[in-house]
Amino acid sequence: MTKISITPQDARFPEDFVWGAATAAYQVEGAAHEDGRGDSTWDVFCRRPGAVFEGHSGAVACDHYHRYREDVGLMRELGIGAYRFSVSWSRVLPEGRGVQNAKGLDFYDRLVDELLAVGIQPFCTLFHWDLPQGLQRAGGFVNRDIADWFADYAALMGTRLGDRVKLWVTQNEPQCYIGFGVGSGIHAPGLKLDFSETLHAAHNSMRAHAKAVGALRATVPGARVGYVLATQLCRPASSSAADLEAARAATFAVSDRTLWNNAWWTDPVVRGEYPSDGLALFGSDMPRFPSSDLAAMRAPLDFLGLNVYRAQTVRAGDKGPEQLPVPPGYPRSGVDWQPITPDAMYYGPRFFHERYGLDQWITESGLSTRDQVFLDGKVHDPQRIDYLHRNLLELRRAMREGVPVKGYLAWSLLDNFEWADGYKQRFGLVYVDYQSQRRVPKDSFHWYKQVIATRGQSLAGQFAVPVTQVSAD
């Protein structure tokens, strides 16, 4: 361990920087069978024996549908300036298209109005993995018509909320809902398609994104529209120029026959082209599509949303970048896939800015820990505080070097349904007792409140920081 000293001036974020928190509809809303909501793929998947940890589902979740006023009150107490939520597509269009559900639309009206009443900017995500089951029966993302269905849905929400909501995300983490849902089958809808069909679904998801961008711009005056990635980040094993270049190259390389990369999902929607290394690697598995698709997929974006949790460590090798294993005993979160690598929050935004030049939002950042209510009635989560602290210092470093990050949205406001892991994981700033639905703000909630109130100045001082490089020897 070494120590660094951060001055209050260095730690302070710009006045227009937006602090916030995020959730997703299926993870928090509950009320899965109330007020006309239709089934989503996740409702159906959760009913499949063995699909989700201990048979959990999002049928009740955090009951946010009924408790949103209480939750907005917590947001107000926290002092956030923006709240990223997603719309349950099947709550507003029970079959995904056709007949609208007035009660579902009314819910999002009420939520947005409640946020605005306490000075919180609503930040709306159209799709966070919960595809209406009616559309899945019609082929889901394998069906080319999904682009038009998604555009119609975007137009509906833009028309309904666009007078009050100006920040929009089309899709959250396409790598996950296509990779896990269509490819490996460990998430809804639980398909295990061959690689060619999975590539076809990925192509259609990006077409759908682009059409939704157009629909939002047509219906929302002054809309700011973005696209959110599950970033696959790399950090250099040392401070050498060679390792830095290796990490930069590896961050955007398509180096294996999977969709777990960045460039395959971002180059088409920003540059209007697939990365050449991916085309060469995927070869005959590439789907056939009209040449006009690529130009259409390049719908101008206002920002990229980066979900930043961890990074792989990379060094320069004789044959290109080499990934280093996580050392034995290295710090991890409550989920095995998340080693603690705070400098991911520096290198990720930096590399994305160098490649694409767009404004950025950190749309998710957080840590799962095995939280509990202690005998004193409080929830002590020092690991989460430390994780957020280190990450924010790294983000401030990137911003001081010119990376245009507009805001930071902690994942998550509430403990919630963590997909195939059910309720085993807790990422929230607020503890949720799922039996009673009692909310208990954690120590991290109060810590983040202080960070927000001081615009980051409370991050200053002398802190122990871990060695950020893994030995290349």
Rounded-to-integer distance, Cα 281 and Cα 300, Å: 28
Query: Do residues 268 and 298 touch, judged by C-beta distance below 8 A?
Result: yes
Going by C-alpha positions, the residue among 325, 427, 326, 341 that lies closest to residue 379 is 427
**Of 15, 70, 77, 364, catalytic:** 364
Q: What is the CA radius of gyration of the chain?
A: 21
**Cβ of 12: how many Cβ atoms within 10 Å?**
17
Helix (H, G, I), strand (E, B) or coil at 413: coil
Read out DSSP for 330-347? Answer: --B-SSTT-B--TTHHHH
**Catalytic residue chosen out of the listed positions 29, 173, 394, 418:** 173
* CA separation for the pair 310, 232 (Å, rounded): 8
| Whether the Cβ atoms of residue 440 and residue 378 lie closer than 8 Å to each other | yes
Active site residue 394: no
Say what angle helices 64-78 and 443-453 make with each other, to 10 degrees. Answer: 50
Looking at the DSSP bridge assignments, the partners of residue 355 are: none
| Ramachandran quadrant class, 96 (left: phi over 0; alpha: psi -120 to 50; beta: rest) | left
Query: What are φ and ψ of residue 432, in 5° steps?
Result: -120, 120
- Distance, in Å, from the CA atom of 74 to the CA atom of 83, rounded to the nearest integer, reads 11
CA–CA distance, 428 with 419 (Å, rounded to integer) = 14
Characterise 329 by phi-psi region: left (phi > 0), alpha (psi -120 to 50), beta (else): left
Active site residue 29: no
**What is the rounded distance in angstroms from the CA atom of residue 83 to the CA atom of residue 407?**
11
Q: Which residues are catalytic?
A: 173, 364
